[in-house]
Amino acid sequence: MQTETSNRPNVVFITVDQWRGDLASGQGGWLPTPNLDALAAEATSFAAHYCQAYPCGPARASLLTGLYAHKHRSIQNGTPLDARHRTLFQAARAAGYAPTLFGYTDTTPDPRLLAAADPARGRYEGVAPGLDVGCLLDEAARPWIAHLMAKGIHIPEPWKGRDQVFKLKGFGEPAAFEAEDSETAFLTDRFLAHLATQGSEPFFAHISYIAPHPPFAAARHWLDAIDPRSIPMPKAPYTAGPEHPLLEAYRATLDLKSFAPNISGSPHTASPEVIRTIRHAYAALALEVDHHIGRIVGALKAKGVWDDTIFILSGDHGEQLFDHGLLGKLAWFDASAHIPLMIRVPGHAGGRIVREFTEAIDIFPTLVELLALEGDVNLDGRSLTPFLSGTPAEWRDAVHWSHDFRNLRDRTYERHLGIPSSLANLHVVRTAEFKYVHFQTLPPLLYHLGEVPNETTDRSNDPTMLRYLAEGIVRLLNHRLRHENEELSCLQAVAGRLYGSRQDASPSR
Structural domain total, the chain: 1
Quick check: is 1 in a domain?
no
Q: Quick check: 332 and 437 in contact, CB under 8 A?
A: yes
Q: Quick check: 482 and 448 in contact, CB under 8 A?
A: no
Domain housing 419: 10-505
Q: What are the pLDDT digits (tens) for 247-269?
A: 999 999 999 999 999 999 999 99
Measured CA to CA, the distance from residue 500 to residue 395 in angstroms comes to 26
Q: What are the pLDDT digits (tens) for 83-109?
A: 999 999 999 999 999 999 999 999 999
Tell which residue, 422, 442, 436, has the closest CA to residue 467.
Answer: 436
Q: Quick check: 314 and 340 in contact, CB under 8 A?
A: yes
Q: Which residues contact 477 (CB under 8 A, 6 or more apart)?
A: none
Describe the chain by its helix, strand, coil percentages, rounded to 5.
Answer: 35, 15, 50
Element (H, E) at 469: helix 466-482
Q: What are the pLDDT digits (tens) for 333-350?
A: 999 999 999 999 999 999
Measured CA to CA, the distance from residue 10 to residue 164 in angstroms comes to 37
Measured CA to CA, the distance from residue 15 to residue 60 in angstroms comes to 10
Q: What are the pLDDT digits (tens) for 303-342?
A: 999 999 999 999 999 999 999 999 999 999 999 999 999 9
Give me the percent of the chain exceeding a pLDDT of 90: 88
Quick check: is 226 in a domain?
yes
Q: Quick check: 357 and 300 in contact, CB under 8 A?
A: no
Average pLDDT rounded to a whole number, residues 376-395: 93
Q: What are the pLDDT digits (tens) for 163-205?
A: 999 999 999 999 999 999 999 999 999 999 999 999 989 999 9
Quick check: is 199 in a domain?
yes
Asked if residue 11 has pLDDT above 80, the reply is yes
Q: CA 11: distance to chain centroid?
A: 19
Quick check: is 5 in a domain?
no
Distances (CA, A) of 150 to 21, 28, 139, 189: 37, 41, 19, 16
Tell me, yes or no, if the pTM score tops 0.85: yes
What's residue 452's pLDDT? 87
How many CB atoms are closer than 10 A to CB 507? Answer: 11
Contacts 24+ apart (CB under 8 A), 23-27: 23/286, 23/340, 24/290, 24/340, 27/340, 27/353
Element (H, E) at 47: strand 44-50
Quick check: is 4 in a domain?
no
Quick check: is 3 in a domain?
no
Measured CA to CA, the distance from residue 328 to residue 267 in angstroms comes to 10
Q: CA 295: distance to chain centroid?
A: 22
Q: What are the pLDDT digits (tens) for 205-214?
A: 999 999 999 9
Quick check: is 2 in a domain?
no
Distances (CA, A) of 286 to 5, 42, 148, 336: 36, 21, 21, 16
Q: Which residues contact 100 (CB under 8 A, 6 or more apart)?
A: 131, 132, 133, 134, 194, 203, 204, 205, 206
Q: State the SS3 of 300-331.
A: HHHCCCHHHEEEEEEECCCCCCCHHHCCCCCC
When mean pLDDT is compared across 39-43, 164-168, 490-494, the lowest value belongs to 490-494
Q: Quick check: 480 and 472 in contact, CB under 8 A?
A: no
Instruction: Give the amino acid at 254.
Output: L
Q: Which of 51, 56, 135, 490 is catalytic?
A: 56
How many CB atoms are closer than 10 A to CB 488? Answer: 11
CATH number at residue 123: 3.40.720.10
Asked if residue 500 has pLDDT above 90, the reply is no
Q: What are the pLDDT digits (tens) for 355-372?
A: 999 999 999 999 999 999
Q: What are the pLDDT digits (tens) for 42-85?
A: 999 999 999 999 999 999 999 999 999 999 999 999 999 999 99
| H helices present in 80-177, as ranges | 88-94, 142-150, 162-166
Asked if residue 391 has pLDDT above 50, the reply is yes
Distances (CA, A) of 161 to 55, 156, 165, 167, 491: 20, 11, 7, 11, 49
Q: What are the pLDDT digits (tens) for 443-476?
A: 999 999 999 888 999 999 999 999 999 999 999 9
Q: What are the pLDDT digits (tens) for 96-152?
A: 999 999 999 999 999 999 999 999 998 889 999 999 999 999 999 999 999 999 999
Is 56 labeled as catalytic in the residue annotation?
A: yes
The residues that bridge with 132 in the sheet, in sequence order, are 100
Element (H, E) at 416: helix 412-417
How many CB atoms are closer than 10 A to CB 448? Answer: 18
Cite the beta strand spans of 160-300 per DSSP E: 204-209
Measured CA to CA, the distance from residue 52 to residue 74 in angstroms comes to 12
Quick check: is 208 in a domain?
yes
- 3-class secondary-structure state, position 427: strand
First to last CA, the chain: 25
Residue 295, judged by CB atoms within 10 A of its CB (0-12, 13-18, 19+), counts as: middle
Measured CA to CA, the distance from residue 469 to residue 488 in angstroms comes to 35
